Amino acid sequence: MAIRFDLEPELAALVQRIREFVRDVVIPVELACKGSLHDAPDAEDIRRRLQAEARAAGLLAPHVGERWGGHGLDVRGQAAVFEEAGYSLLGPLALNISAPDEGNMHLLERVATLAQQAKYLAPLAAGDVRSCFAMTEPPPGAGSDPRALATHATRVEGGWRIDGTKWFITGARGAAFAIVMARTSGAPGDRGGATMFLVDGGNPGMQIVRDLDTLDHALFAGHSEVLLKIAWSPTTRSSARSTAASNTRRCVWPRRASPIACAGWASPAAPTTSRWPT
Amino acid sequence: MRWLGLARRAHDLALAHVTAREAFGSRLAELGMVQQQIADNEIDIAASRALILHTAWVLDTGGDAGTASSIAKTFVSEAVGRIVDRAMQMTGAVGTSGDRLLSRYWREVRPFRIYDGPSETHRWSIAKRAVSSFKKRGRA
């Protein structure tokens, strides 16, 4: 049996439509802004206009399931579609498949509860809001070695308290919510013990300290340093469980295009917990 | 996936330049050292896509994609950097300037070798799995 590299007709047609969309709609915008919306005062307007065009063309968030407005692509389908969108620096943003939102959608679609999906995934997939993923920390915290995770979450009456500093948090400025990686057990250097928390962007305990000046401009809103001094309101429903030790070195960031396994995200309400993706 | 698309764009921008620009009595695209860079870009693009497709196949068929995804991430992030860098070399001084998107692309692709696991940790993982697999097999 021959190995097949050709795309089935529906996928080939979708890729062709994206090729034309990028050529006709996205590249003119990219040329006008020289590939960078980083310092553009109307960046948010441009993002919304591009995504409105993609929505009208049936191309917004093509990777998510049909119930969230996408095409329910498998990884091979994503590979073909993402490559074509990437032909312009602004293509992934226009199609709402840019980091970190694309990975966060993938994560929420796979492991979040229905209530969490309704609150966080639905508006994210629709392009109504943006999100961020807060894992990386300044020294001596977690970078390439996630075992160094220093941000910690402790139970307080009726909820949780999260303390830590994150940096290189892509898209943090203006994000409607953050998925925050925090330690609920163990100490920096230990394996496992990490939990993901959904934190609303309006939480007063989550403050942007500064925006880092980086080589790249393409990821919307750049990369920020974020201070976390979050106290959960006792009125916030909470349910969390301790996490089993897992091999944190194998952690894969959700912003990456390949799937993540995060089956431990089991609690029914925010804030919620998960094992490290392995 | 997405950066492979941008690498293709950078390569196309370089092709547009070397097929139009004349120097040393011919188009740049007819010079052997430029042709080598064109071919090397084509090779890196094809190899990157093949590794991505293989990893997608492992994931879509429910396999353990640990090694495949580390290999793909390492190779593609480095290949994309090579492709955009060669595209800049072929485009000459103007490619380094704000007159061309290439200079923007060159900046954009560099962090890809660092985030989502730098090449070093992926290589570490690949090597450890290879050693572990060999030990299980027991002999050559």
Could you read off the pLDDT of A51-84 as tens digits, one per residue?
Answer: 999 999 999 999 999 999 999 999 999 999 999 9
Touching check for A85 and chain B: CB below 8 Å? yes
pLDDT of chain A, 278 residues: tens digit per residue: 898 889 999 999 999 999 999 999 999 999 999 999 999 999 999 999 999 999 999 999 999 999 999 999 999 999 999 999 999 999 999 999 999 999 999 999 999 999 999 999 999 999 999 999 999 999 999 999 999 999 999 988 878 899 999 999 999 999 999 999 999 999 999 999 999 999 999 899 999 999 999 999 999 999 999 999 998 744 333 333 333 322 222 223 333 222 222 322 322 223 333 333 32
Q: Is the peptide bond before A140 cis (omega within 30 degrees of 0)?
A: yes
pTM to 2 decimal places: 0.88
Q: Which helix (H) or strand (E) holds B71?
A: helix B66-91
Residue B134: what pLDDT? 95
Mean per-residue pLDDT over chain B, rounded: 97
Residue B51: what pLDDT? 98
Given CATH 2.40.110.10, say whether it is the number of domain A99-278. yes
Cβ–Cβ gap B55/A88 under 8 Å: no
Q: Give contacts of B121 with chain A, Cβ < 8 Å.
A: 144-145, 249
Give φ, ψ of A162 to 5 degrees: -120, 125
Touching check for B17 and chain A: CB below 8 Å? no
- Considering the four listed CATH numbers 1.10.287.1120, 1.10.540.10, 3.30.70.1290, 3.40.50.620, the one that applies to the domain covering A9-98 is 1.10.540.10
Touching check for A215 and chain B: CB below 8 Å? yes
Residue A271: what pLDDT? 33
Question: How many angstroms separate the CA of residue B62 from the nearest CA in chain A?
Answer: 11
Residue A157: what pLDDT? 81
Q: Which fold has domain B2-133?
A: Butyryl-CoA Dehydrogenase, subunit A; domain 3 (1.20.140)
Residue B140: what pLDDT? 79
CA separation for the pair A97, A91 (Å, rounded): 8
Residue A159: what pLDDT? 80
Touching check for A89 and chain B: CB below 8 Å? yes
Where exactly are the structural domains of chain A?
A: 9-98, 99-278
Indicate whether B86 pLDDT > 60.
yes
Residues 44-73 of A with CB under 8 A from B: none
A9-98 against A99-278: fold identical: no
Residue A4: what pLDDT? 87
Q: Is the peptide bond before A271 cis (omega within 30 degrees of 0)?
A: yes
pLDDT one-digit tens code per residue, A135-149: 999 999 999 999 999
Cβ–Cβ gap A79/B101 under 8 Å: no
Q: How many CB pairs under 8 A join A and B?
A: 105
Single-letter amino acid code for the residue at A45:
D
List the single range of A156-160, B42-46, B104-108 with lowest mean pLDDT. Answer: A156-160
